[in-house]
Structure 1
Amino acid sequence: MARFHTLPVVAVDRLTDDSVALTLTVPPELREEYRHTPGQHLALRRKVDGIEIRRTYSICSPAPDGDGPSTLRVGVRLVDGGAFSTYALKEIGVGDELEVMAPAGRFTLEPAPGLYAAVVGGSGITPVLSIMSTLLAREPQARFCLIRSDRTAASTMFLEEVADLKDRYPDRFQLVTVLSREEQQAGLPSGRLDQERLRGLLPALLPVDAVAGWFLCGPYGLVEEAERALRGLGVPRARVHEEIFHVDSAAPAPGSAATAPAHSTVTARLDGRGGTWPVRDGESLLETVLRNRPDAPYACKGGVCGTCRAFLVTGEVRMDRNFALEREETEAGYVLACQSHPVTEKVELDFDR
């Protein structure tokens, strides 16, 4: 698990003033390992002054047929003070090599007939671009409605790629664009897509009850507002899929006030091997496992990407934040190791399930 391989950069495309798309070459012997489902992401890593930095970026290229992908393309938007995004925009060039983990993530859609829709904001278009392009190409009985929100036209990522889908599938792809800080000559008025606005807008655009799957992706606030709007419109929770790209530090975090025991251990199964180790005061379970198994999977360590998902076999934990696992996953017993702290003296995790 958590295997990284070095892949060369073959293209760097400037999308906007603050975003780029990186295209990586996958050699034939690794193509099966990098086969991906539409919507998955890659973890990239580098070392700065001896400190390892990992970040996840969604794959925007269509999912491959046949023997797996010969290339992978990801979108990177600059984050203020971002150690990796700054490097990507200002330093990475063609011929450079990046350390890349195999694809992961569950914000996905296997192509199937039906009507699908997405509400995205900013760089949230990235995984949905892969989902849409794969679905429309492979499934002639599928339709897709994209509602996207951006600050201005100039800040809109993958503008040409989305326009190309509209030209290629005019009868099966519906595009609705809202700009929050700029008026459009045609289309919807500017402003935020909040719960109230979406509850009025969505039924006017498409038959909400007929949508087989809703995909919400982008900043925390937009995803929460869209989820509440869909709930108010009676959409079953099982049809709603969410992926959050940016979480404000003040965003509410689920969790328990339960305190950790004085002494606790974690037993972890990873890649077929297990071990038991004491948890140091204040450590997350992921930090404990990493001290003893550096190959444990992780990326953001912020409860957003879901890379460190593990099954809680025994014991009880407290999760500080969870913006990656859906309710069905937590009810089934999955936790985020990077956000989990022991509540019982013994905790057992299985990263292989």
Structure 2
Amino acid sequence: MNTATIPAAPLDGVATGPPRRTGWHALDVTEVRHLTADTVAVTLDVPAALRDVFAHHPGQHVTVRHRRAGTELRRSYSVCPPPHAPGTLRLVIKRAGPGGFGDHATTRLARGDRIELSPPTGMFALPELPCAHHVLLAGGTGITPLAPMAAHALRRDPACRVSLVHSVRTSADAVLADELAELKDEFVDRFTVLYVLTREDRGSGGGPLARRLDASGVHRLLAAVDARPGPDTTFALCGPSGLVATARRVLADGGADPSLVRWELFTTDGTESGPPEPAGRAARAGEARVTALLDGRRRAATVLPHDPALLDALLRTHPDVPYACREGVCGSCRAKVLSGQVTADRQHALDERDRAAGYTLVCRARPCTPEITLDFDA
């Protein structure tokens, strides 16, 4: 998962100090429940000694580390806590193909197994705007951060409204639909859920409807839930890059305040996301020195000419440096450039505000100057 947002206020009972982004913790699997043919909900027990470590905001994610055949896989998943189950943490995991962690989780993971996770991180959250209309648009498993965000907003602010649109291929792919129905029953006057089925059989011999949401479709959906851009309407988008990009364009054309539009991706389509970071030729002819601040400690490494990114140099001597996808999607390696210059492409997890503030994704960044200083804690 990745994000381009501003932090929200913490939940009641959640520690307010700087989050620790490093370290791994093995949690016991208490349940593996199949939601669809290729998606499972994995519930994990969080012992009392780790409750503070895994305290989180709705919308945050964890990184799973899976070791297999001498290799290490890392994947990021949104925290989607089960209703009425304190002391647990739940991940909704989809099988993307053979050999990955999703394949392992959907075919072999069982109660009693253990999973290694990093502490929750990320800044995907609804703006703290009282009496607002929160409009949420999810594509596929992009529902996993948005469902807990909807529940939290409804319970935190008795004057707010929440409208959630979930685009899925068929009704069988609408994960968490039962929980959203219960939430609708609890907040019948303030919560609206609308499903868009892009490949559902239309019946009467019409065959399946196989079409992605385009700009006009997004317009119609926003009108259907009475979502009008304004100072009291917020938007949160999560799903494939094409859907999120289309919705962002529609909202921008409609005059939505960019600070009230939050978004996160879970897949990309290979397109670039914004321009490279500050102009300059990457320092490929020689070595560069990178210093990183992480959890209040300084780490230093030498970037060699053949290193694909700053992350590779840091990992050689500091394996606790956070990362997951290496594709600029999850945002786990987000850091602020304090000195020096970098260039980077495929910065899907950053928006214009992040770039203007000096942030980069270390998995995509390359040096433009001989000395670089990064702050992962910023």
Fold similarity call, TM over 0.5:
yes
Is the partner of 2:67 in helix, strand or coil? Answer: strand
The answer for the alignment partner of 2:119 in structure 1 is 102
Residue 39 of structure 2 corresponds to residue 19 of structure 1 = yes
Distance 1:274 1:228, change over 3 A: same
Matches of 2:49 and 2:233 in 1, distance apart? 36
> Map of 1:218-229 to 2, 5 A cutoff?
218-229=239-250
Q: Quick check: 1:286 aligned with 2:311?
A: yes
CA change 1:5–1:346 in 2 (3 A) is same
More displaced stretch, 43-52 vs 111-120? 111-120
Quick one: structure 1 residues 192 and 29, their matched pair in 2 at CA, closer, same or farther if it must change by over 3 Å? same
Which residue, 176, 181, 185 being the options, matches 1:163? 181
Q: Residue 96 of structure 2 aligns to which amino acid in structure 1?
A: V
2:56 matched residue in structure 1: 36
Percent identity reads 40
Equivalent position of 2:156 in the other structure:
138
- Listed as ranges, the matches of 1:1-353 within 5 Å are 1-61=21-81, 70-81=87-98, 83-109=100-126, 112-183=130-201, 191-210=211-230, 211-248=232-269, 250-253=270-273, 254-255=275-276, 258-261=280-283, 262-263=285-286, 264-283=288-307, 284-353=309-378
One-letter amino acid of the counterpart of residue 110, structure 2: G
Q: What is the aligned length?
A: 346
Q: Which moved more, 1:43-52 or 1:16-25?
A: 43-52
Name the CA distance, whole Å, in 2 between partners of 1:195 and 1:110. 24
The alignment partner of 1:289 has SS state of helix
Over the aligned positions, Cα root-mean-square deviation in angstroms equals: 2.1
Q: TM-score, normalised by structure 2?
A: 0.86
How far apart, CA to CA, are the structure 2 residues paired with 1:47 and 1:190? 37
More helix by share: 1
8 Å CA contact 2:272–2:348 kept in 1: the answer is: no
Q: Deviations over 1:264-321 (max 9, x none)?
A: 2111122222243221123211111111111111111110111111110111111121
Give the 3-state SS of the residue equivalent to 2:138 in structure 1: strand
Task: Give yes or no for contact 2:127–2:234 (8 Å, CA) kept in 1.
Answer: no
Q: Which runs of 5+ in 2 are unaligned?
A: 1-20, 204-208
Normalised TM-score (structure 1): 0.92
SS at match of 1:306: coil
Amino acid at match of 2:235: W
**2:126–2:236: 8 Å Cα contact kept in structure 1?**
no
Worse overlay, 92-101 or 102-111: 102-111
Q: Could you report, residue by residue, the CA deviation over 1:138-179 in whole angstroms, capped at 9, with x for unpaired residues?
A: 321121001110000112211211111122211111111111
> C-alpha displacement at 1:258, in angstroms?
4.2
Q: Alpha-carbon deviation of 1:63?
A: 9.7
Secondary structure in structure 2 of the residue aligned to 1:286: helix
Change (3 A) 1:18 1:70: same
User: SS at 1:208's partner residue?
Assistant: coil
Distance in 2 of aligned mates of 1:194 and 1:51? 40
Question: What secondary structure, in the 3-state scheme, does the structure 2 residue paired with 1:74 have?
Answer: strand
- Give, in angstroms, the shift of residue 184 of structure 1: 6.1
Residues 260 and 190 (structure 1 numbering): CA distance in 2 closer, same or farther, change over 3 Å? closer
> What SS does the corresponding residue of 1:76 show, helix, strand or coil?
strand
Query: Structure 1 stretch 10-19 or stretch 261-270: which is displaced more?
Result: 261-270
Q: Which has the larger displacement, 318-327 or 143-152?
A: 318-327
Give, as a single letter, the amino acid of the residue that structure 2 aligns with 1:32: D
Structure 1 stretch 203-212 or stretch 340-349: which is displaced more?
203-212
Question: CA-to-partner distance for each residue in 1:75-130, whole Å, 9 max, x for gaps?
Answer: 11110235110011011111111101111111113764321011110000000011
The AA in structure 1 aligned to 2:363 is C
Farther-moved stretch of structure 1 (83-92 vs 270-279)? 270-279
| Residue identity in the other structure for 2:45 | T
Mapped to 2, the partners of 1:190 and 1:138 lie a distance apart of 38
Q: Is the Cα–Cα contact under 8 Å of residues 141 and 175 in structure 2 kept in the other structure? A: yes
Tell me: higher relative CO, structure 1 or 2? Use CA pairs within 8 A at least 6 residues apart.
Answer: 2
Question: 1:72 Cα deviation (Å)?
Answer: 0.6
CA distance in 2, matches of 1:134, 1:105: 17
**Which residue identity is paired with 1:260?**
A
